[in-house]
Amino acid sequence: MKYIVFTGWFILQSITLSAIQYIGKVFEKQGERAIPLVGVNVYWAGTSIGTSTNAQGKFSIEQPNPSIDILVFSFVGYQTDSVKVSSATRLEINLKPGKELEEVNVVERIRATQISKINPILVQQIGNKELNRFACCNLSESFESNASVDVAYTDAVSGVKQIKMLGLSGTYSQMLLENMPILRGAEGAFGLEYIPGTWMQSIAVSKGAASVKNGYESITGQINIQFKEPGGLEKLHFYAYGNQDGKLEANTGFSQPIDSFWNTSLLVHVGGNFRELDMNHDGFLDKPKGQQINMLDRWEFKKNHLSWKAGVGYLYDERLGGQVNYDHQKPQSEQSAYGIDINNHRIQTFSKLGVLFDRPKTSLGIIITYSLFDRNSQYGLNQYDVKQHNGYINLIYESYLSTTAHVFSTGISGVFDANDATYNQMDIGFREWVPGVFFEYNYLPSEHLSVLAGLRYDYSSLHGGFATPRIHAKYHFPAYVTLRGSVGKGYRTANALAENSNILASSRMVFFENNNIREEAWNFGLSMVNEIPLGADDLVWALDFFRTDFKKQLLVDWDQTAREVHFYNSEKASFSNSFQTELSYTLFGRLDVTAAWRYNMVKATFQDQLRQVPFRSNHKGLFSASYRTRMEKWQFGTNLQFYGLQRIPSTEENLTENQRPAQSESYLVLMAQVTKNYRFWSFYVGTENLTNFTMHHPVIDAQNPFGDQFDASMVWGPVYGQMFYAGVKWILEKREKKQ
Amino acid sequence: MLSLLIVFVAINGTKVMAQEKQDEQKVTFTVNMTCNHCKLLIMKNIPYEKGVKDVSVDLDKKEVTILFKKNKITTDQLIKAFEKIGYTAVLKESKM
């Protein structure tokens, strides 16, 4: 055995020794001067083997085998270049500015999900390949194969899903659309369902403190969504989806070049739940009926060093839930059945202007967004209405100091929130204006080391001034291991009821001891990504630990009695420790396999007692596999998730039949999908919750919804059983313009 | 589900190994493709031509190798299929 291992090691070493080393320099020509470019992505075409340039713009890369001989050089803000190498000569690459990295180049060489080796922040990129693996009706269904983000229904009656990251509520992770903050405040309750899956090109999930450029709000992480661009590859698409629960959806998108500088696109989503479904026979609709219309018109202009993107969107969302015999044409006061009526309207608009200067890595960007969100909702006798205006402006200047090893970003920002909210005629809204300044410095002395340090200072009209420091460091050991560490602070103005709307679906009395406090937390993170060559591919092993330590938090206390919920400000111990390990590998070239495990410890001090925060799984496991046939005519995907135990607030005061165990069950959820691709068409069928695990009686005291024990908000697991779905996609792509 | 997937992978692998029957032909074209986009476009179109059993693209060599059923499609029709998506294909090698 020892002999075999030694021989294997010797052969491997011999192969390594015989490989050719290519060295070279990447620069940008400015007149007679050659400015070295730092951090340029250098990789072998068709592989994930790559490096990046150092402080002098130099790189060194080994040729894995003689058949792989095209080196690609890519850098944001520069035209991607590639050269065919034939002998070990010194390479001199002159990159030209002006064009962004073509998305198609990235798609080809990356895995379905991948972690950048260059970024000092731990960012997991979920690409189009991954998004197509399962029928992602909307953003809430895009994280099925992602171990870092959990998605769950908030209650048993409204059909609302929310995410959790690092064991904490999704409100602590900042949502961005192409680096513009979205789904803030009242929108957060439904927001994930307002991002149709078919509109998305990719999602970047970053864990821990994020860059200060996007504001002070990210505490546990950041989710940045990239929509399909008007100038992208798709010309026209039509998607339709239906499931056995009566959910039907149709999506269409059309993009059109106006001339060589202008592109425009229109994305439309219509859908709804049209079937009355009460599978658990508790008299309540398992999912509300309703409909959603969502539209976005985008414009894009690119000329030389100038780019401008703008868009305007409209959304209408209606949900009609509650007891099966509730008449939604009549007011609640005129009938004895319990009803839920939710009506939301949203208008949003954005503008992004970018100017690239002749100086390398130098640009100016101005982002302006505005959204109006209008929510009218009635849950039985509870009425919660919000009219929210949100404005945002961010001006960012980026450049370098002496060399491109010292890159900085600086700018000013302003956030305006006018949240006019009433809960049963009680005014619980707020208005806040937060101007701020920021400076971020990125030190890139070599392709291995990157340090990102940022500081911002903001002044809140509600809470006064506050500073947000954040620092990230990355070291990439040749050739397999990347280590990262981060420390950062985050703040956010809590919005008690908007973020916990599930409480409305209960008879609990709500006590606002504090409502709109500014939460404050530190986040510490350590991670290691190990890319171990194994056979034809790399085995990627990622390991991370994150701790979130709250200095000030708006606690939601379910424990005082089963009849009440208390919101109050806490400066006592509250933390989340999250440890995750993940392995992924591609077998036989086309079978992608991922296995992950995560342990969360989430505790907070409720009335002087440090306790586990309710509705948080201590363990989560994930196994996913997907396979594509040689010409990708067939695709198969399956996904198994394990959720561990959760603490459930006490219901001991209730009648025996309305009591629930103080701990949830652990459970498994399995989903699978088969897709058949044709030239322009794809057909898919799939199933969710194949294991058919559901909570027993998720609605407490469903027979007596106006009694004091009624509670539909105590949801810790699947409310719906096995479900089958089918769909069709039709995509017409643009033809490439010949050079 | 996973075991089904593994069985499918194994069957599919066997099918690939058992290719190139008597009524099939393998040809290699030199194609004027320049980037990964070309490869994507070719892989999204040529496999769906009638009678095409297998397609592999070598971007570096600018070559596309196609296995097809002789009674369903000809090399001329394949060349036309490349033209339809904007590429010029020149027959390089043909194996009966």
Lowest mean pLDDT among A13-27, A563-577, B52-66: A13-27
Weakest mean pLDDT among A13-17, A292-296, A364-368: A13-17
DSSP conformation class of A549: E
- What is the CATH number for B87? 3.30.70.100
Probe site for chain A from B4, B40, B60, B82 (most A CB atoms < 10 A):
B60
**Of A141, A180, A125, the residue nearest A313 (C-alpha):** A180
Which residues, in sequence order, are bridge partners of residue A177? Answer: A180, A225
Backbone phi, then psi, for A199, in 5-degree steps?
A: -85, -15
Tell me the β-bridge partners of A438: A411, A456
Alpha-carbon distance of A344 to A377, in angstroms, equals 8
Predicted confidence band at A739 (pLDDT cuts at 50, 70, 90)?
very low
* pLDDT at A120 exceeding the cut of 90: no
On whether both A487 and A424 belong to a single domain, the answer is yes
Q: Which positions in chain B touch A67 (Cβ < 8 Å)? A: 60
Burial class (CB in 10 A: 0-12, 13-18, 19+), B22: exposed
A6 assigned to some structural domain: yes
Among B41, B54, B60, the residue with its CB nearest the CB of A736 is B41
Lowest mean pLDDT, pick from A131-145, A265-279, A488-502: A131-145
Residue ending a domain, among A80, A109, A138, is A109
Task: Tell me the CA distances in angstroms from A243 to A145, A274, A552, A626, one per residue in order.
Answer: 20, 11, 44, 22
Domain with A63 in it: what CATH number?
2.60.40.1120
pLDDT in the model for residue A408: 95
Residue A107 has pLDDT above 50, yes or no: no
> Which run of H or E residues covers position A104?
helix A103-109
CB contact under 8 A, A591 and B5: yes
pLDDT at B16 over 50: no
Long-range own/partner contacts, residues A649-656 (CB < 8 A, 24 or more apart): A649/A558, A649/A559, A649/A562, A649/A614, A649/A714, A650/A559, A650/A562, A651/A562, A651/A700, A651/A711, A651/A714, A652/A562, A653/A561, A653/A562, A653/A563, A654/A562, A654/A700, A654/A701, A654/A709, A655/A701, A655/A709
Token pair in block for residue A584: 């992924």
**Is the Cβ–Cβ distance between A546 and A166 less than 8 Å?**
yes
Q: How far apart are CA A623 and CA A575, in angstroms?
A: 28
Q: Does B37 touch chain A (CB under 8 A)?
A: yes
Residue A106 has pLDDT above 50, yes or no: no
Residues 6+ apart with CB under 8 A from A92: A24, A25, A27
Q: Residue A530 burial (CB < 10 Å; 0-12/13-18/19+)?
A: middle
Considering only the beta carbons, identify the residue of A67, A108, A625 that sits closest to B5.
Answer: A625
Identify the residue among B3, B20, B44 best suited for mutation to test binding to A, counting A beta carbons within 10 A and taking the highest: B44
The total of other beta-carbon atoms located within 10 Å of residue A699's CB is 27
Taking residues B66-84, what's their average pLDDT? 92
Residue type at position A707: G
Question: Per-residue confidence at A31, pLDDT binned at 50, 70, 90?
Answer: low
Tokens of A643: 């959720």
- Residue B10 belongs to some domain of the structure: no
DSSP state of A177: E
pLDDT at A690 over 50: yes
Residue A10 and residue A136 share a domain = no
A660-676 pLDDT, tens per residue?
999 999 999 999 999 99
Mean pLDDT of A424-445: 94
Q: What is the mean pLDDT of residues A137-148?
A: 81
The domain of B32 spans 21-95
Kindly report the nearest CA distance between residue B28 and chain A, in angstroms.
Answer: 16
Q: What is the pLDDT of residue A513?
A: 85
pLDDT band at A18 (very low <50, low <70, confident <90, very high): very low
Residue A39 has what pLDDT?
A: 75
Confidence of residue A32 (pLDDT cuts 50, 70, 90): low
Scanning the structure block, which residue is given the tokens 């982002």?
A367
Q: How many domains does chain B have?
A: 1
Domain for residue B1, yes or no? no
A138 and A278 together in one domain: yes
The beta-carbon neighbor of A735 closest among B43, B47, B86 is B86
Of the two residues A508 and B39, the one the predictor is more confident about is: A508
Q: Which residue has the higher pLDDT, A58 or B22?
A: A58
Flag whether A211 is in a domain: yes
Is the preceding peptide bond at A189 cis, omega within 30 degrees of 0? no
Q: Are the beta carbons of A399 and A361 closer than 8 angstroms?
A: yes
CA proximity to A548, closest of A601, A606, A492: A601
Number of CB pairs, chain A paired with chain B, less than 8 A apart = 73
Contacts of A588 in chain B (CB under 8 A): 9, 13
Q: Torsions phi, psi of B47, nearest 5?
A: -60, -20
Do A519 and A604 reside in the same domain of the chain?
yes
Chain A contacts to B (CB-CB under 8 A): 45-46, 67-70, 84, 102, 104-105, 107-109, 233, 587-588, 591, 623, 625, 627, 629-633, 636, 638, 640, 670, 672, 678-679, 690, 733, 735-736, 738-739
First to last CA, chain A: 57
Output the domain CATH number for residue A603.
2.40.170.20
Residues of B in contact with A670 (CB under 8 A): 1
Please check whether residue A600 is in contact with residue A561, taking contact to mean a CB–CB distance below 8 angstroms. no
> Is residue A627 assigned to a domain?
yes
Q: How far apart are CA A100 and CA A74, in angstroms?
A: 9
Mean pLDDT of A564-582: 94
Q: What is the mean pLDDT of residues A286-311?
A: 93
Same domain? For A327 and A204 the reply is: yes
Tell me whether residue A118 is in a domain.
no
Q: Which comes out higher in pLDDT, residue B22 or A225? A: A225
> Has the ipTM of the complex gone over 0.90?
no
HEC letters along A442-454: EECCCCCEEEEEE
Residue A117 falls inside a structural domain: no
Q: Which of A89-93, A147-151, A494-498, A520-524 has the lowest mean pLDDT?
A: A89-93
- The answer on A715 and A645 residing in a single domain is yes
Contact in structure between A197 and A131 (CB atoms under 8 Å): yes
- Mean pLDDT, residues A363-377 taken together: 96
The torsion region of residue B44 among left (phi > 0), alpha (psi -120 to 50) and beta comes to alpha
Percentage with pLDDT > 90 across chain A:
59
Q: Following CA atoms A330, A333, A335, A338 in sequence, which dihedral angle do they give, to the nearest 10 degrees? A: 100
Strand partners, A548: A523, A576
Asked if A188 and A148 sit in the same domain, the reply is yes
Whole-number pLDDT of residue A12: 41
The C-alpha atoms of residue A111 and residue B10 are separated, in whole angstroms, by 22
Identify whether residues A590 and A453 lie together within a single domain. yes
Task: Identify which has the larger pLDDT, A349 or A155.
Answer: A349
Q: Which residues of A touch B14 (CB under 8 A)?
A: none
User: In this predicted structure, which of A80-84, A392-396, A570-574 has the lowest mean pLDDT?
Assistant: A80-84
Q: What is the mean pLDDT of chain A?
A: 87
A388 in Cβ contact with A351 (< 8 Å): no
Rounded Cα distance between A540 and A122, Å, is 14
Q: Which residues contact A499 (CB under 8 A, 6 or more apart)?
A: A169, A171, A188, A189
**Nearest CA-CA partner of A725 in A243, A277, A241:** A243
Q: Are A308 and A314 in contact (CB under 8 A)?
A: no
pLDDT band at B6 (very low <50, low <70, confident <90, very high): low
Q: How far is B85 from chain A (nearest CA, A)?
A: 7
Which residue, among A629, A639, A685, A692, would best test binding to B if mutated, counting the most B CBs under 10 Å from its CB?
A629
Reported as type and span, the H/E element at residue A306 is strand A306-322
Tell me which residue range forms the domain holding A184: 123-733
Q: Is B49 a domain residue?
A: yes
Query: Does any domain span residue B3?
Result: no
- Residues near A134 by Cβ (< 8 Å), separated by ≥ 6? A141, A144, A145, A637, A639, A671, A673, A686
B18 touches chain A (CB under 8 A): no
Q: With 0-12 CB in 10 A as exposed, 13-18 as middle and 19+ as buried, what is A205?
A: buried
Range with lowest mean pLDDT among A26-40, A359-373, B3-17:
B3-17
CA-nearest of A153, A140, A215, A154 to A556 is: A154
> Higher confidence at residue B78 or residue A190?
B78
DSSP string, A477-532: ETTTEEEEEEEEEEEEE--HHHHTGGGGGB-PEEEES-SS-EEEEEEEEEEEEEEE
Question: Closest Cα partner for A630 from A590, A593, A592?
Answer: A590
Q: Residue A574 has what pLDDT?
A: 96
Least CB-CB distance to B48: which of A46, A104, A679?
A679
pLDDT at A413 over 90: yes
Shared domain for A105 and A129, answered yes or no, is: no
The residue among A109, A134, A154 that closes a domain is: A109
Provide the pLDDT for residue A8.
47
Q: How far is the CA of A458 from the CAs of A6, A82, A411, A492, A495, in angstroms?
A: 60, 44, 12, 12, 19
Q: Tell me what the mean pLDDT of segment A673-700 comes to.
A: 92
Q: Is the pLDDT of residue A145 over 70?
A: yes
Contact A456, A436 (CB under 8 A): yes
Domain count of the fold of chain A: 2
The length of chain A in residues reads 739
Last residue of a domain, one of A86, A109, A132: A109
Q: Residue type for A328, please?
A: H
DSSP state of A188: G
Find how far residue A30's CA is from the centre of its chain.
Answer: 39
Q: Which residue has the tokens 């954005």?
A: A350
Distance CA A23, CA B32 (A): 29
> Are A102 and B1 inside 8 Å of each other by CB?
no
Among the ranges A4-13, A142-151, A532-541, which has the highest mean pLDDT value? A532-541
Contact at CB, A105 and B36, closer than 8 angstroms: yes
10 Å Cβ neighbour count for A341? Answer: 20
Q: Under a CB-based contact definition with an 8 Å cutoff, are residues B6 and A593 in contact?
A: no
B94 and chain A in contact, CB less than 8 A: no
* pLDDT tens string A524-566: 999 999 989 888 788 999 999 999 999 999 999 999 999 999 9
Q: Is residue B48 part of a domain?
A: yes
Is B4 domain-assigned? no
Same domain, A71 and A180: no
Chain A residue with Cα closest to B35: A105
Assess whether A53 and A138 both reside in one domain: no
Q: Is the pLDDT of residue A13 over 50?
A: no
Q: Residue B36, Cβ neighbours under 10 Å: how many? A: 22
Please write the tens of the pLDDT for every residue from A588-627. 888 999 999 999 999 999 989 999 999 999 999 999 999 9
Task: State the pLDDT confidence band at A652, using cuts at 50, 70 and 90.
Answer: very high
pLDDT of residue A535: 84
The reply to whether B53 falls in a domain is: yes
Q: At A317, is the pLDDT very low, low, confident or very high (cuts 50, 70, 90)?
A: very high
Let me know whether A101 and A129 are in one domain: no
Helices (H), chain B: 2-17, 36-45, 75-84
Question: With pLDDT > 70 as the criterion, what percentage of chain A qualifies?
Answer: 92
A188/B81: higher pLDDT: B81
**B65 contact A CB<8A:** no
> Which tokens go with A210?
């994020």
- Cα separation, A109 vs B36, in Å, equals 9
